[in-house]
Amino acid sequence: MAEHIDQQALDEAVTYTSELIRIDTTNRGGGDGSERAAAEYVGERLSDAGIEPVLLEKSPGRTNVVARIAGTDPDADALLVHGHLDVVPAEPAEWSVHPFSGEIRDGVVWGRGAVDMKNADAMVLATVRAWARAGVRPRRDIVLAFTADEEDSADYGSGYLSEHHADLFEGCTEGISESGAFTFHAGEGMRLYPVAAGERGTAWLKLTARGKAGHGSKVSRANAVSRLAAAVARIGEYEWPQRITPTVRAALMELAAVRGLDEPDLDAPGFDVDKLLAELGPAAALMEPTVRNSSNPTMLNAGYKINVIPGSATAFVDGRMLAGGEDEFGETLDELTGPHVDWEFHHREVPLQAPLDSPTYAAMREALEHFDPEAHVVPYCMSGGTDAKQFSRLGIVGYGFSPLKLPEGFDYHAMFHGVDERVPVDALHFGVRVLDRALLAL
């Protein structure tokens, strides 16, 4: 397969990453954000390549970009390639460089979005522009979507697009996006490339405790704050039982083989997944968050004066559910909250799984191995979630595939929402080449 990535494409991947970072698209949640400037930037570069973009907004400033590249096989299913334009907040005083500088220094691009995920947006732009210059078309239609609001509820982004503009995604059966195909150094020179083929479901919860309001000097057996605190402590300390989904099962088996371990019997009575994880060494970090459901208390709100017992108190919990674990999650929360605390879903999205025996997964694996012959490509399940959840409502199966070849010691996961987020220039070059090969093979 011929490579169509020229020096201009490599340069554009770096330049676009830097310039997109300079456009502040901070999403503070609750509708507070604006992606319009970044969406217009993307739209202009698509238009320059002869690709017609459509800009769509649910609310002023919350802008999405969608475009379709016609494939050579009109009977083939379409492929969705999507990335979000918004970023989480960053406090400049905490950073070595200004988080919206997009500074390129010592072969590294710095700034908020360098990994999550303006780098991937830039690589996609550079790739499709290279195709346009070379007169290359993919086999199947490719729908490009650059979305708003992924870092909050996606109500202004992929949720809005899937509900109100489903026609733009006609024919799409599969999608690829963030958080996969990055180098994970597993020790002894071993390079893993985890490709995401699943996501835990989102279960953001609101807890409400009710009691009897009164004077702080009086004895209270119906104290809403005490009831809430007890429930929150139970939830935070609860040890969820192991649950091995098909994606995680495949990952554990492949990682055990790569490490040279005896083939584990995951169905054996009393199988201890934590023992296996300990034997996997550094690679265990890929799997540890996804072998069980989770629930982390994150916010508390109660009272307005120190000597007044409030009649109610609220808390929020970031919960995540594995495929098949939704009923278990709800039943457990009923027990942990107890009789005096109610809970409800503040925001809920489904868990996802994608097939590992698909031609798409095989093409992604081949492209990574082509450009890094020593790569060990393994499946994995994301502990969190992406816009793939919203696009799954349209019947689109999602994979995490934003390729980056990273040096040893580069903590990829720490870059997400972290201080001094950055990406090596060489990693972007690798990613563009891999994307070109994979997308044209699909």
Q: What is the pLDDT of residue 144?
A: 98
CB 211 within 8 A of CB 314: no
Residue 413 — pLDDT band, cuts 50, 70, 90?
confident
Q: What is the pLDDT of residue 1?
A: 61
Residue 170 — pLDDT band, cuts 50, 70, 90?
very high
In single-letter form, the type of residue at position 127 comes to T
Please state the rounded mean pLDDT for residues 192-211. 97
Cα distance between residue 245 and residue 90, in whole Å? 35
- In 300-419, alpha helices (H): 326-337, 359-371, 388-391, 412-415
Strand partners, 344: 206
Please state the rounded mean pLDDT for residues 55-71. 98
Residue 3 — pLDDT band, cuts 50, 70, 90?
confident
Of 2-11, 263-272, 326-335, 336-345, the least confident: 2-11
Please state the rounded mean pLDDT for residues 186-214. 96
Cα distances (angstroms) measured from residue 329 to each of 271, 273, 295, 324, 436: 21, 19, 9, 10, 41
Q: What is the pLDDT of residue 89?
A: 97
Which of 341, 389, 62, 339 minimizes the C-alpha distance to 203? 389
Domain 7-197+351-441, CATH number (from 1.20.140.10, 3.20.20.70, 3.80.10.10, 3.40.630.10): 3.40.630.10
Cα distances (angstroms) measured from residue 218 to each of 44, 212, 304, 340: 66, 11, 17, 20
Please state the rounded mean pLDDT for residues 358-366. 97
Q: What is the mean pLDDT of the chain?
A: 96
**Same fold yes or no, 7-197+351-441 and 201-240+293-349:** no
Share of the chain above pLDDT 70, in %: 100
For 255-407, strand residue ranges (E) read 294-302, 308-309, 312-321, 341-349, 352-353, 375-382, 397-400
The yes-or-no verdict on residue 11 having pLDDT over 70 is yes
Q: What is the pLDDT of residue 136?
A: 96
201-240+293-349: CATH topology is Alpha-Beta Plaits (3.30.70)
Q: What is the DSSP letter of 32?
A: B
Give the tens place of pLDDT for each residue, 368-404: 999 999 999 999 999 989 999 999 999 999 999 999 9
Measured over the CA atoms of residue 438, residue 129, residue 118 and residue 170, the dihedral's sign is negative
pTM: 0.94
Catalytic residue from among 12, 86, 149, 254: 86
Is the backbone peptide bond immediately before 123 cis, with ω within 30 degrees of 0? no
Catalytic residue from among 116, 141, 149, 150: 150
CB 162 within 8 A of CB 67: no
The yes-or-no verdict on residue 116 having pLDDT over 80 is yes
Cα distance between residue 135 and residue 137, in whole Å? 7
Pairing of strands 294-302, 172-177: unpaired
Residue by residue, DSSP assigns 107-134 as: TEEESTTTTTTHHHHHHHHHHHHHHHHH
Domain boundaries, the chain: 7-197+351-441, 201-240+293-349
Cα distance between residue 159 and residue 267, in whole Å? 38
Query: In angstroms, what is the C-alpha Rg of the chain?
Result: 23
Q: What is the DSSP letter of 281?
A: G
Name the region of 270 (left: φ>0; alpha: ψ -120 to 50; beta: rest). Answer: left
On the 0-12 / 13-18 / 19+ scale of CB atoms within 10 A, 155 is middle
Give the tens place of pLDDT for each residue, 202-241: 999 999 999 999 999 999 999 999 999 999 999 999 999 9
Residue 57 — pLDDT band, cuts 50, 70, 90?
very high
Q: What is the pLDDT of residue 399?
A: 98
The yes-or-no verdict on residue 2 having pLDDT over 70 is no
Question: Which residue's structure tokens are 């990273």?
Answer: 406
Q: What is the pLDDT of residue 126?
A: 98
The yes-or-no verdict on residue 315 having pLDDT over 80 is yes
Please state the rounded mean pLDDT for residues 136-165. 97
In the numeric block, which tokens belong to residue 19? 């310039």
CB 258 within 8 A of CB 376: yes
Residue 269 — pLDDT band, cuts 50, 70, 90?
very high
Q: What is the pLDDT of residue 4?
A: 80
The yes-or-no verdict on residue 298 having pLDDT over 90 is yes
- Does 150 qualify as catalytic in the annotation? yes
CB 14 within 8 A of CB 75: no
Strand partners, 104: 109
